């Protein structure tokens, strides 16, 4: 997910009006790679985030707050000394590089006017924040680079700042249309068009190179030799249109979401992923970047936090599966219990013919019509009476085991199904409270032990997710099995509509009908919510059952979230994150 030169250009264009003439009011450094500049002026107060972390490099206005360390880092203290009170006089992007330069009007220790620059290099692993004085001397930098780290370019206090070396290939935006046409004609035929663009010009990211190829040929990676004349013309027209878009600052902040996760972003609509990616457009780049990184970081954080609990539940599920398999195996063995009783009867009827020490008894099987002779295995250390007693005992044991194994298997199947539903819920957790509620539920059901924390911590019960349909009707969605039970059996009214994805684990969904009937659009939207908050979220079309709450019953002694329902109808829907986001209410 590269922050390419064009996106940096778009960000600079967006920030320029808000920043030029404003003052830096406060400097914070919540982490090693992140700065927060509080900006005041031009009728607005903003927090400007500058990140130079690997994979997170960006500059954007930020609404979310960060927790700062008790002791500010030395670099933060130095920046406060030089930047607080400084006025931003300019914001430039040198040579369409992935860097931004803030021109600052400040005052030195003597109160004299002074010029400084805050240089932000957004270049992957080599990203850096550098503060320079009026004559270009480096005052300090976030990452110091000495001769052992790089022979090409050193960055350290006291040195003259020099820009990163330019790439040897030409800048895409400095090439004329005729030159571009000639270069395409002379391109190596056996080279993929997107790779040719990336290797020939600077300023273009792999994503945009693939997009240019896709828009011309409907294939994101195609050999130049395979281009038809019309495709070559369309490819050249697309490149010219791209250049015009950038020169006219015609940018559309666009985020790509794949499997509900932020995948990439760009300065223009992206078509190459077709139906495999959800495309979300934003009004400004700051909102897009904040959503992209905040959502991605939250998902990664929740995944890390939920990993231990998920592992515990998965282990419990695997144990349940093994126990079930063992009990089914034992049950299969009980199927031969009638043979044990028959052997006992036949031995008893032939005591006079059997003596201790015999390895088997050859007798007539009078249970069969033709009375065939059969051999019954015997224990040589037992008397005939003891051998008969052993077979009767095996019969009684198998008969008793069949009864108890049936109950144990039924219980095991309920536990296995319940644990699968909990694993699905853990993967859909959105907050620490959601995890805590599931952990409490598992503790109460006995699947995990209560954590010893020294003090009893009360978990405030969260409310179900709340949505408002297009027609204005309330829709509630349970976030875990315990909440599903409460929502369906205690909160919902008898005439409300209950929905659940068919034959999969998922949330209980309730339409608050208030004594009326839901319209078709509300029913469709509620069914989409049921599909989205279920195991079917990643699939295509999902069947969802719906009925009135009065037809939903919880079996006695069943696991949390388990219900039976009748008199239902089914609707087929497709999980739609965009629709879900539009209906959700805080």
State the CB neighbour count (10 A cutoff) for residue 487.
23
Residue 411's contacts (CB-CB under 8 Å, 6 or more residues apart) are none
- pLDDT at position 577 is 81
Percent of the chain residues topping a pLDDT of 70: 97
Q: What is the chain's mean pLDDT, rounded?
A: 88
Dist. CA 503–CA 84, nearest whole Å: 61
- Has residue 434 got a pLDDT over 90? no
Q: How far apart are CA 57 and CA 99, in angstroms?
A: 10
- The pLDDT assigned to 271 comes to 92
Strands (DSSP E) found in 473-560: 474-477, 497-501, 509-511, 542-548, 552-553
User: What is the C-alpha separation between 552 and 568, in angstroms, rounded?
Assistant: 10
Euclidean distance between CA atoms 120 and 54, whole angstroms: 14
Q: Given a cut of 90, is residue 509 above it in pLDDT?
A: yes
In the chain, the percentage of residues whose pLDDT exceeds 90 is 44
pLDDT at 2 over 70: no
Q: Among residues 25, 163, 161, which one has the least CA distance to residue 88?
A: 25
Are 137 and 160 contacting, i.e. CB atoms less than 8 angstroms apart?
A: yes
Q: Residue 452 has what pLDDT? A: 59
- The stretch 240-258 carries a mean pLDDT of 92
Q: If we measure between CA atoms, which residue out of 507, 485, 479, 322 comes closest to residue 415?
A: 322
pLDDT confidence of residue 448:
78
Q: Which two tokens stand for residue 380?
A: 């040589």
Q: Which of 318-322, 441-445, 526-530 has the lowest mean pLDDT?
A: 441-445
Contact 550, 564 (CB under 8 A): no
> How far apart, in Å, are the Cα atoms of 284 and each of 7, 20, 263, 281, 287?
12, 18, 18, 9, 6
Q: Is the pLDDT of residue 307 over 90?
A: no
Among 187-201, 293-307, 361-375, the minimum mean pLDDT is found in 293-307
- Higher per-residue pLDDT: 411 or 208: 208
**Bridge-based pairing state of the strands 373-377 and 465-468:** unpaired
* pLDDT for the residue 501: 94
pLDDT confidence tier of residue 585, bands split at 50, 70 and 90:
confident
Residue owning tokens 């878009």:
245
pLDDT at residue number 459: 60
- 330 vs 572, which has greater pLDDT? 572
Q: What is the pLDDT of residues 532-581, one digit of tens each?
A: 999 888 778 899 999 999 999 998 888 888 999 999 999 999 998 888 88
DSSP conformation letters of 189-245: TTSBHHHHHHHH-BS--HHHHHHHHHHHHS-SS-BGGG--HHHHHHHHHHHHHHHHH
Is the distance from CB of 131 to CB of 138 less than 8 angstroms?
yes
Question: Residue 346 above 90 pLDDT?
Answer: no
Cα dihedral sign, 317-322-327-331: positive
For residue 66, the 8-state DSSP code is: -
Tell me the mean pLDDT in the region 519-527. 94
Binned at pLDDT 50, 70 and 90, residue 80 comes out as: very high
Positive or negative CA dihedral for 222, 224, 226, 232?
Answer: positive
State if pTM tops 0.85: no
Distance CA 504, CA 485 (A): 17
Residue 8, phi then psi, degrees to nearest 5: -60, -40
**Could you give the domains of the chain?**
5-141 (2.30.310.10), 172-288 (1.10.8.50), 308-462 (no CATH), 465-585 (no CATH)
| Other Cβ atoms within 10 Å of 465 Cβ, number | 20
**435 φψ region: left (φ > 0), alpha (ψ -120 to 50), beta (else):** alpha
Please provide the distance, in angstroms rounded to a whole number, between the alpha carbons at the two ends of the chain: 30
Pairing verdict, β 254-258 and 138-141: unpaired
User: Which three-class secondary structure string do you get for 240-296?
Assistant: HHHHHHHHCCCCCCEEEEECCEEEEEECCCCCCCHHHCEEEECCCHHHHHHHHHHHH
**Please, are residues 337 and 399 in contact by the beta-carbon 8 Å criterion?**
yes
Q: How many CB atoms lie within 10 A of CB 411?
A: 16
Check pLDDT > 90 for residue 177.
no
List C-alpha distances in Å: 370 to 162, 339, 342, 363, 365. Answer: 105, 18, 16, 13, 8
Quote the pLDDT of residue 457. 52
Q: How far, in Å, CA of 356 to CA of 385, rounded? A: 9
Instruction: Give tens-digit pLDDT for 265-280.
Output: 999 999 999 888 888 8
Q: What is the pLDDT of residues 446-483, one digit of tens each?
A: 887 776 555 555 566 778 999 999 999 999 999 899 89
Mean pLDDT on 156-182: 87
Say which range, 81-85, 305-309, 438-442, 492-496, has the weakest mean pLDDT. 305-309
Mean pLDDT check: name the lowest of 184-188, 303-307, 411-415, 545-549.
303-307
The residue with greater pLDDT, 301 or 375, is: 375
């Amino acid at each position: 997910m590269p922050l390419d030169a064009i996106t940096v250009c778009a960000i600079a264009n967006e920030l320029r009006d808000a920043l030029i003439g404003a003052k830096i009011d406060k400097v914070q450094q919540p982490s090693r790679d992140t700065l927060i500049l509080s900006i005041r002026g031009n009728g607005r107060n903003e927090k400007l985030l500058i990140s130079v972390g690997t994979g997170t490099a960006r500059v954007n206005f930020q609404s979310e707050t960060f927790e700062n360390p008790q002791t500010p880092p030395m670099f933060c203290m130095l920046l406060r000394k030089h930047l607080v009170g400084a006025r931003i006089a300019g914001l430039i992007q040198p040579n369409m590089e992935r860097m931004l330069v803030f021109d600052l009007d400040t005052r030195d220790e003597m109160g004299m006017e002074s010029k400084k620059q805050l240089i932000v290099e957004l270049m992957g692993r080599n990203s850096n924040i550098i503060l320079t004085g009026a004559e270009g001397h480096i005052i300090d930098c976030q990452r110091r680079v000495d001769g052992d780290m790089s022979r090409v370019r050193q960055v350290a206090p006291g040195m003259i700042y020099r820009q990163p070396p330019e790439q040897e290939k030409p800048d895409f935006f400095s090439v004329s249309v005729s030159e571009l046409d000639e270069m395409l004609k002379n391109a190596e035929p056996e080279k993929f068009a997107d790779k040719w663009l990336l290797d020939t010009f600077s300023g273009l990211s792999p994503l945009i190179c693939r997009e240019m190829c896709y828009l011309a040929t409907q294939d994101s990676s195609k050999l130049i030799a395979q281009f038809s004349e019309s495709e070559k013309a369309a490819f050249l027209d697309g490149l010219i249109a791209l250049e015009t878009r950038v020169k006219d600052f015609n940018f559309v902040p666009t985020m790509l979401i794949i499997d509900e996760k932020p995948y990439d972003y760009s300065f223009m609509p992206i078509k190459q992923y077709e139906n495999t990616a959800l495309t979300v457009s934003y009004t400004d780049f700051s909102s897009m970047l904040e959503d992209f990184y905040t959502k991605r970081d939250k998902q990664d954080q929740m995944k890390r936090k939920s990993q231990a609990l998920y592992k515990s539940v998965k282990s419990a599920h695997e144990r349940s599966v093994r126990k079930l398999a063992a009990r089914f195996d034992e049950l299969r063995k009980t199927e031969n219990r009638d043979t044990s009783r028959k052997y006992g009867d036949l031995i008893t009827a032939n005591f006079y013919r059997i003596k201790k020490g015999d390895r088997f008894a050859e007798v007539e099987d009078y249970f069969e019509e033709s009375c065939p002779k059969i051999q019954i295995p015997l224990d040589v250390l037992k008397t005939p009476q003891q051998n008969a007693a052993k077979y009767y005992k095996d019969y009684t044991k198998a008969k008793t085991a069949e009864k108890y194994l049936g109950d144990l298997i039924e219980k095991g199947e309920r536990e296995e199904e319940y644990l699968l539903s909990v694993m699905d819920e853990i993967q859909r957790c959105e907050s620490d409270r959601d995890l805590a509620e599931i952990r409490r539920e598992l503790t109460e059901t006995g699947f995990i032990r209560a954590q010893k924390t020294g003090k009893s911590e009360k978990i405030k019960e969260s409310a179900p997710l709340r949505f408002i349909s297009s027609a204005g009707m309330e829709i509630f969605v349970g976030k875990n099995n315990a909440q599903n039970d409460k929502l369906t059996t205690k909160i919902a009214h008898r005439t409300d509509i209950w929905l659940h994805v068919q034959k999969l684990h998922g949330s209980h969904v309730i339409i608050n009908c208030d004594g009326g009937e839901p319209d078709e659009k509300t029913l469709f939207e509620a069914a989409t919510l049921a599909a989205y908050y279920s195991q079917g979220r990643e699939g295509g079309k999902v069947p969802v059952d719906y009925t009135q709450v009065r037809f939903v019953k919880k079996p006695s002694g069943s696991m949390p979230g388990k219900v039976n329902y009748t008199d239902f109808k089914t609707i087929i829907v497709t999980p739609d994150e965009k629709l879900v986001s539009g209906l959700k209410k805080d």
